[in-house]
Copies of this chain bind each other. A is one copy, B any other.
Amino acid sequence: MGLKYGMIGGGKDAFIGGVHRKAIALDSTAELVAGAFSSNPEKALASGKELGVKRNYPTWEAMLEGELALPEDERIDFVVIVTPNHMHYPTAKAFAEAGFNVVSDKPLVHTSEQAEDLVRIVKEKGVVFGVTYNYTGYPMVRQAREMVRRGDLGKIRKVIVEYNQGWLATRLEETGAKQADWRTDPKRSGIAGAMGDIGSHAENLMSTITGLHISHICADLTTFVEGRQLDDDGNVLLKFDNSGKGVLIASQIEIGMENDLRIRVFGEKGTLVWHQEDPNYLEFHKLGEPMQILKRGNDYLCDAAKKATRIPSGHPEAFLEAFANIYRGVAEAIEARKAGQPLTEFEFPTVEDGTIGVRFIEKVVESSQSDQKWTEF
């Protein structure tokens, strides 16, 4: 498409930076031309060199300055922020204020105030701002969303959404594992552990598919692994503003569970079931009829699901393609903005979605510390 992007964070040893780069490369959505790949300038430069990036900056501040110094059409079209969580806010704020489009990893920022600040800046500056709640990029998630929207399920009564992992069942952060290290450190990760890292994905998946808004929350967070500073397990009861109910489970101590994000949506007319580890399928249970399994890549799917698909049914697509779909949506919005015809509907999670995610984390922690059953959302 001819777009250019820069990256903050995501250097050597990082996991998610490479995922973003591959997802963008998959469709040749944009070219990586600039980067400040670490908070450590030496590491940053070394990583950029290894990646063969043209404009290799020691710090994100240098990158901001450097890009602004370029003629407008040579600058990056968007910046991708894949740092530990605590760096999302300052970087996103600075680049958005300077008029750059931004893609930030989730959770968006540490506090609702920061999030609302970003919402304000995005509105003022008219920039495109995406948050990589990547699981909503799966075609069958978009099919599910469409089926709810068009009423196939009737009014939604109940949602069970779970994100089960087991990789933190032992004190991995003591072994030098970088991913475990910062995720269990409140300074970098924020006030929540498992709930911030993956519970927020579960919330976003639920909100995206159902369109429901949480009205009340009752949370119980636990730290099972001794010495750990943040929750590694949480179970949450939910009330929605349509009077529906929900259960949200997120854990990183469930041995053998790998990346077991799954959702069940129960309506008055039918039920949908989707599972991230088996993402090409969507179960549909219609009252009184045989269960159906809808499969990616088939003609009977909705347009949004078809558009998010690259290869024929039976040739499985997976995590990276879903991630790439988020970037496709972002690129589409950026192209529209460049063309002076900004979009009003976005096929990617926005700064507003990210703000709900931040509030979710705050409210879960607040509720978990409360003796009161229900905390208003």
Which A residues contact B (CB, under 8 angstroms)?
2, 15, 18-19, 22, 25-28, 52, 157-158, 160, 165-167, 169-170, 218, 220, 222, 224, 233, 235, 237, 245, 247, 249, 251, 253-260, 264, 266-271, 276-280, 283-295, 297-300, 310-321, 370-374
Contacts and interface: CB of A to CB of B under 8 A. Distances in A.
B318 A317 contact: yes
A269 B295 contact: no
Chain A at the B interface: SS class: loop
Contact of A259 (B170, B259, B293, B312): B312
B320 A311 contact: yes
B254 A320 contact: no
How many monomers of this chain does the complex have? Answer: 4
Given A28-B25, A370-B373, A319 B311 contact: yes
A290 B300 contact: yes
Given A220-B218, A298-B290, A316 B166 contact: no
A260 B314 contact: yes
B285 A290 contact: no
The 7 A-B pairs with the shortest beta carbon distances in the complex, nearest first, are: A256-B285, A258-B314, A259-B314, A316-B318, A318-B318, A290-B292, A315-B319
Contact of A255 (B224, B267, B372): B267
A271 B291 contact: no
A256 to B, nearest CB: 2
